[in-house]
């Protein structure tokens, strides 16, 4: 069985150097119903990142490049886009849909082996090719290496090998490594305002606070476009107060040369920090880390050239595949292609 994928080859972006995983509010499905609520049970097929047989070319529907070793999945296309929008067929619809769902985290389980793995939505499969299956909407297409980990062995090209049933549940987290360009995911406990409608049930899905904007990509009123970003019409460049929620460049947010912090915050190691924040000690939270610099116990390095944070491991973790080009995170070491605790 093959699930054919929705190609986005015309719009491919490189995976960002830094990524974060944190809890968010899962949006509704494209038809307004709950987006895969509770535990799902369907058929788990496998696919390769770049294969004519699988209708893939190294870039998923979400516009992100991927490889066979990435922990990504494809879910039912129509659940994310009512008109099955792609970059080539409907760019505005595609941007809206990918910014809304890409990067959501799922815990995927093969009940037969008992193995589980956290994976992320980075692709979509065409529902035309699963018509007649028992539970097409709950089915998954799983990237090759992750599928092999769950199943216990490689399929060796046999498309008749599937995980049936495969069980999966959305964790409520998002991984910014797999979110679409321009997407803004507020944390469940606060952050960027996303309600721009009088109705509290409507979630902002275009021109929202913090999103990219331009003369041809406007902001949703009452937001205004300032320096290429949608901001509140009442926003200032001063530090947030107890009566006004910070909406851009806030303490702890990602930052870079093109994504500045709000004064008086400053960008340190790609995170916005108070201007008076001292340089962190080696291995402490906020300190620089990488393939040769470890974090202290209880912290993880969010990327090979990132910072130490109290977050879930997202590269070179224990049990992950490794190689000369995909190193393990210290103190793990690469043993026979697998990251193992030293």
- Dump pLDDT digits (tens) for 138-163: 899 999 999 999 999 999 999 889 99
User: Does the pLDDT of residue 280 top 90, yes or no?
Assistant: no
DSSP H helical segments within the chain, as ranges?
77-80, 91-101, 144-151
What are the structure tokens assigned to 249, written together?
């460049």
Handedness of CA 111, 114, 120, 123 (dihedral sign): negative
CB-based contact 182:100 (threshold 8 Å): no
Strands, DSSP E only, in 176-228?
224-226
Compute CA distances 53 → 18, 82, 86, 143, 178, whole Å.
32, 26, 20, 14, 24
Is residue 220 a contact partner of residue 207, using CB atoms and an 8 Å limit?
yes
Looking at residue 13, its pLDDT comes to 46
How confident is the model at residue 6, as a pLDDT?
57
**How confident is the model at residue 2, as a pLDDT?**
43
Q: What integer best gives the mean pLDDT of the chain?
A: 77
**Structural domains of the chain ordered from first start:** 21-175 (2.40.40.10), 282-342 (no CATH)
Task: Look up residue 173 and give its two tokens.
Answer: 């987290």
What pLDDT is recorded for position 123?
94
Q: Which two tokens stand for residue 114?
A: 């008992």
Evaluate whether 98 touches 62 at the Cβ level (below 8 Å): yes
**How far is CA 124 from each of CA 24, 38, 56, 197, 256, rounded to the nearest angstrom?**
21, 20, 11, 29, 31
Most confident of 112-126, 212-226, 289-303: 112-126
pLDDT in tens, 25-74: 999 998 888 999 999 998 999 999 999 888 889 999 999 999 999 999 99
Query: Is the model more confident about 132 or about 62?
Result: 62
Containing 289, the helix (H) or strand (E) segment is: none
| Confidence (pLDDT) at 1 | 44
- Residue 22: strand pairing partners: 174
Q: Note the pLDDT tens digit of each residue in 60-117.
A: 999 999 999 999 999 998 899 988 888 888 889 899 999 999 999 999 999 999 999 9
Confidence band (pLDDT; 50, 70, 90) for 135? low
Tell me 23's DSSP state: E
Please check whether residue 144 is in contact with residue 64, taking contact to mean a CB–CB distance below 8 angstroms: no
pTM: 0.54
The more confidently predicted of residues 111 and 192 is 111
pLDDT at 239: 33
Beta strand spans in the chain (E): 21-23, 40-47, 50-51, 56-57, 72-76, 104-110, 115-125, 140-143, 163-175, 224-226, 229-231, 266-268, 271-273, 300-301, 308-309, 333-335, 338-340
Q: Quote the CA–CA distance of 81 and 172 in Å, as a whole number.
A: 20
Q: Mean per-residue pLDDT for 179-184? A: 88
CB neighbours of residue 147 within 10 Å: 27
Q: How many whole angstroms from its chain centre is CA 148?
A: 22
CB atoms within 10 A of CB 67: 15
Residue matched to tokens 């009452």:
222
| pLDDT tens column, 199-220 | 333 456 677 666 666 766 777 7
Give the whole-angstrom CA distance, residue 114 versus residue 254.
37
The predicted structure's pLDDT at residue 83: 86
**DSSP-based three-state secondary structure for 129:** helix
Higher confidence at residue 124 or residue 20? 124
Q: Is the pLDDT of residue 131 over 50?
A: no
Whether the CB-CB separation of 174 and 21 falls below 8 Å is answered with yes
Which pLDDT does position 205 carry in this prediction? 63
């Amino acid at each position: 069985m093959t699930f054919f994928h929705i190609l986005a080859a015309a719009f491919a972006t490189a995976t960002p150097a830094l990524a974060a995983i944190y809890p968010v509010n899962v949006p509704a499905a494209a038809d307004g119903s709950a987006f895969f609520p509770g535990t799902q049970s369907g058929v788990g097929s496998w696919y390769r990142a770049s294969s004519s047989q699988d209708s893939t070319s190294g870039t998923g529907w979400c516009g992100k490049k991927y490889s066979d070793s990435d922990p990504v999945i494809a879910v039912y296309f129509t659940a994310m886009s009512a008109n099955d929008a792609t970059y080539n067929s409907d760019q505005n619809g595609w941007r809206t849909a990918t910014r809304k769902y890409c990067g959501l985290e799922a815990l995927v389980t093969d009940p037969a082996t008992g193995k589980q793995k956290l994976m992320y939505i980075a692709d979509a499969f065409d529902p035309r090719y699963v018509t007649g299956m028992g539970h097409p909407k709950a089915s998954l297409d799983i990237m090759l290496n992750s599928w092999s980990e769950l199943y216990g062995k490689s399929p060796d090209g046999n498309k008749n090998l599937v995980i049936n049933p495969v069980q999966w549940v959305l964790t409520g987290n998002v991984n910014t490594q797999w979110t679409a360009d321009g997407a803004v995911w507020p944390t469940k406990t606060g952050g960027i305002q996303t309600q721009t409608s009088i109705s509290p049930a409507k979630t902002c899905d275009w021109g929202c606070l913090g999103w990219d904007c331009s003369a041809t990509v406007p902001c949703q009123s009452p937001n205004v476009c300032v320096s290429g970003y949608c901001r509140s019409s009442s926003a200032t460049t001063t530090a947030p107060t107890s009566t006004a929620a910070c909406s851009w460049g806030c303490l702890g947010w990602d930052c870079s040369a093109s994504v500045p912090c709000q004064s008086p915050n400053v960008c340190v190691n790609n995170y916005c920090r108070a201007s008076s924040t001292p340089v962190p000690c080696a291995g402490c939270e906020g300190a620089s880390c990488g393939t040769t610099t470890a974090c202290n116990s209880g912290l993880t390095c969010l990327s090979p050239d990132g910072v130490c944070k109290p977050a879930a491991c997202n590269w070179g973790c224990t049990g992950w595949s490794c190689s000369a080009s995909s190193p393990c995170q210290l103190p793990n070491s690469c043993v026979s292609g697998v990251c193992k605790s030293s």
